[in-house]
């Protein structure tokens, strides 16, 4: 029997086949776990209360599969989805593993590689749509450089734009109901990747032919690697109406992409994120792009998956308590209702308002000496998160 934090389908939690399917290979060591067949991943995740499963084309269909093999694999996978009441909300393409992509797909200097990249992505889009995906993620894992004179970075951005514009037109031509979500990362596996942060993508999207079709897929670990405050970036994406998808995991600051269990490292930032998503009624998939520690066997993988979902639900409950805590809300009310008579000076511009505002005399020394109550507020949050409130 579950408790109040047991995940259920309506929580809309999803995992990638590559996340729970991660075999624990790293740059220094071989796999520590056997690959779990995709159909068993579907079954086990469903049993744990997950709702969706995402995939790269080659997580399901090997890159060298024949058409007959592909069809059989896809048929079996669809049956598992149906049997275990799971959906495929998002799909994506592997344009990073095969050596052909060693210098990028969209941004490769070789037009033959760029053409192959487009072909692979179109086929992968067809597969994703066949499985029911409504979001298509682009993570340019190899779109970057070590030798920075090898590619003109302005040209790289143009090539990326040409590629995304081409694929937007492909989706429209096929009459697919599919939106694109761009995923930023500052480095790894390349020394430097183009479009290092979600903010870079938000600006890029506005330069596309069909900006409304394209949003972002921010990832906790990636923005943290860039030294940024994740929930601030997510808030800006929400404000722009561009938060189409999200990759949840955790990460120690200043390290490689660790892809830890959601909320395993930084409870406070995880809380701030969950509170932001819940208070703003984010209704998209909550996707865990993380994997179990390399120390684990398959049981540890399912402990990991359940842990991601439970921590999200526990933090959702903490966000509810935060909203209902009289002392906390009292301080927040005080903070947001200071000097209400000055509101009339703000908001949209008029010449009359500007003239009036220019005449106001401010006692800035008195204003500057007013204390905030943020120490008290932050300690109340700490006590709430630490479970004594």
Positions in the binding site for ligand GCO (CB under 6 A) = 92, 137, 139, 183, 185, 219, 247, 257, 289
Nearest distance, CB of residue 272 and ligand GCO, angstroms: 21
Closest distance between ligand GCO and the C-beta of residue 369, in Å?
47
Q: Which is nearer to Mn ion, 257 or 265 (CB)?
A: 257
CB 218 within 8 A of CB 198: yes
Measured from the CB atom, is 139 or 260 closer to ligand GCO? Answer: 139
- Given the complex with ligand GCO, which of 219 and 250 has the nearer CB atom? 219
Residue 137, contacted partner among ligand GCO, Mn ion, none, CB below 5-8 A by kind? ligand GCO
Question: Which of ligand GCO, Mn ion, none does residue 260 bind to, with CB < 5 to 8 Å depending on kind?
Answer: none
Point out the residue whose Cβ comes nearest to ligand GCO: 139
Smallest separation, CB 267 to ligand GCO (Å): 22
Which residues are within 8 A (CB) of 227 and not within 5 positions of it... i.e. 6 or more apart? 253, 254
Determine which residue in the list 57, 219, 250, 266 makes contact with Mn ion, applying CB under 5 A.
219
275 binds, among Mn ion, ligand GCO, none (CB under 5 to 8 A by kind): none
Count Cα neighbours of 318 within 13 Å in the Cβ-side half-sphere: 26
Tokens 């032919």 appear where? 209
User: In this complex, which beta carbon is closest to ligand GCO, that of residue 140 or of residue 199?
Assistant: 140
In this structure, are strands 90-92 and 144-145 parallel, antiparallel, or unpaired?
A: unpaired
Residue 92 touches which of ligand GCO, Mn ion, none (CB < 5 to 8 A by kind)? ligand GCO
Binding to Mn ion, residues 229-258 (CB under 5 A)? 247, 257
The minimum distance between CB 5 and ligand GCO, in angstroms, equals 26
Size of the site for Mn ion (CB under 5 A): 4
- Tally Cβ neighbours within 10 Å of residue 359: 6
CA distances from 329 to 37, 39, 255, 336 (A): 49, 47, 36, 10
- CA end-to-end span of the chain, whole Å? 26
Adjacent-strand bridge partners of 243: 216
Distance CA 199, CA 220 (A): 14
CB of 92 or CB of 107, closer to ligand GCO: 92
The residues annotated with a catalytic role in the active site are 56, 59
CA distance 22 to 47: 19
Distance CA 197, CA 200 (A): 5
* Torsion sign, CA atoms 305, 223, 316, 267: positive
CB of 301 to ligand GCO, least distance (A): 16
**Contact of residue 286 among ligand GCO, Mn ion, none (CB under 5-8 Å per partner type):** none
Choosing from 13, 237, 289, 313, the residue that interacts with Mn ion (CB under 5 A) is 289
DSSP letter at 373 equals: -
Phi then psi dihedrals of residue 271, to 5 deg:
-60, -45
223 binds Mn ion (CB under 5 A): no
Beta strands in the chain (DSSP E): 13-16, 52-56, 90-92, 135-139, 144-145, 179-183, 192-193, 214-216, 247-248, 286-288
CB–CB of 104/153 below 8 Å? no
CB of 221 to ligand GCO, least distance (A): 7
**190 versus 275: smaller Cβ distance to ligand GCO:** 190
Site for Mn ion, rule CB under 5 A: 219, 247, 257, 289
């Amino acid at each position: 029997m579950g408790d109040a934090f047991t995940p259920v389908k309506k929580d809309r939690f999803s995992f990638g086949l590559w996340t729970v399917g991660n075999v624990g290979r790293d740059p220094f060591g071989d796999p520590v776990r056997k690959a779990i067949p995709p159909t068993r991943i579907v079954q086990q995740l469903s049993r744990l209360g997950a709702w969706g499963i995402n995939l790269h084309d080659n997580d399901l269909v090997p890159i060298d599969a024949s058409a007959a093999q592909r069809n059989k694999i896809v048929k079996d996978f669809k049956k598992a989805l149906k049997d275990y009441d799971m959906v495929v909300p998002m799909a994506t393409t592997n344009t990073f593993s095969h050596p052909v992509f060693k210098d990028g797909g969209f941004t490769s200097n070789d037009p033959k590689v760029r053409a192959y990249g487009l072909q692979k992505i179109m086929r992968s889009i067809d597969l994703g749509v066949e499985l029911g995906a409504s979001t298509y993620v682009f993570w340019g894992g190899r779109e970057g450089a070590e030798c920075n004179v090898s590619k003109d970075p302005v040209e790289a951005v143009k090539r990326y734009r040409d590629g995304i514009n081409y694929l937007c037109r492909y989706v429209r031509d096929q009459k697919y109901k599919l939106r694109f979500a761009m995923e930023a990362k500052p480095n790894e596996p390349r020394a430097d990747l183009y479009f290092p942060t979600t903010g870079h993508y938000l600006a890029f999207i506005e330069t596309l032919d069909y900006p409304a079709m394209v949003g972002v897929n921010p990832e906790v670990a990636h923005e943290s690697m860039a030294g940024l405050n994740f929930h601030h970036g997510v808030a800006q994406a929400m404000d722009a109406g561009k938060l189409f998808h999200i990759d949840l995991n955790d990460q120690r600051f200043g390290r490689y992409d660790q892809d830890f269990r959601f909320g395993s490292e930084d409870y406070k930032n995880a809380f701030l994120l969950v509170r932001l998503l819940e208070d703003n009624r984010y209704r998209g998939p909550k996707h865990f792009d993380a994997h179990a520690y390399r120390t684990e066997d398959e049981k540890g993988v399912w402990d990991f998956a359940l842990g991601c979902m439970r921590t999200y639900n526990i933090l959702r409950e903490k966000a509810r308590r935060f909203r209902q805590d009289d002392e906390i809300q009292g301080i927040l009310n005080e903070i947001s209702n200071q000097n209400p008579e000055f509101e009339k000076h703000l908001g949209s511009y008029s010449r009359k308002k500007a003239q009036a505002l220019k005449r106001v005399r401010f006692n800035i020394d008195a204003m500057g000496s007013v204390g905030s109550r943020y120490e008290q507020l932050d300690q109340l949050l700490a006590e709430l998160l630490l479970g004594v409130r």
